[in-house]
Structure 1
Amino acid sequence: MSSPAMKLFLKRWYGPEVIPIVGIMVMAVGGASWYLTRLARHPEVVWDRKNNPYPWLDIKPDENAKLHAVSHQFARSWTRDKF
């Protein structure tokens, strides 16, 4: 037993022209959340400020913490162990 108001609501909001809009919105929200999590995992972001007030002291002399090193030869790359 559907009322005329329910039929009008379903006709307006669940038509075939709504599917692309929903798809674009899902992709936009998913892409934005993926990008924000990607930014939050960069080595420049410090999450444990209270536990480690000087995070740059954790990098050893032979670790590479740069995104692009042209002429430097480092033995190993810096990794984030705490997150």
Structure 2
Amino acid sequence: MSNSFTKQFRKHWFAVEATPIYVIIGGVCVGASWYLYRLAMGPTIQWTKSNPTPWNSIKPNQTTKMMTVNHQADGKWSRDSL
């Protein structure tokens, strides 16, 4: 009983027709992980031990964008440490 179940499982799970599906799903998972890592380490957010929540240090009138349209702000945001 166990031997026939194993044969049937391997026959359907490791079928040649299913290989492209595994490659595509694996590529999507790797690509999504890379993109999330890229977003987390980008220049807009700085993750340091001294500033674990960088979004809390921005004051109400500061602008964090390089170019703003129809926005009046008194102060400018600067990235002090890298």
- Normalised by the length of structure 1, the TM-score is 0.56
Instruction: Compute the displacement of 1:44 (Å).
Output: 1.7
Residue 46 (structure 1) shift? 3.2
Report sequence identity in percent: 39
* Unmatched 5+ stretches in structure 2: 59-64, 68-78
Deviation track 1:11-68 (CA, whole Å, cap 9, x = no partner) reads: 01001111011000111001101100110111221323x624648xxxxxxxxx84x7
| Amino acid of the structure 2 residue aligned with 1:41 | M
- 1:1-83 aligned within 5 A: 3-48=3-48, 51-52=50-51, 54=57, 66=66, 81=82
**How far, CA to CA, are the matches of 1:27 and 1:20 in structure 2?**
10
Gaps (5+ residues) in structure 1? 56-64, 69-77
- TM-score, normalised relative to structure 2: 0.57
Aligned-partner Cα distance in 1 for 2:46–2:8 = 52
Bigger relative contact order, structure 1 or 2 (CA pairs below 8 A, ≥6 apart): 1
Runs of 4+ deviating beyond 2 Å: 52-55
C-alpha RMSD of the superposition: 3.2
Count the aligned residue pairs: 61
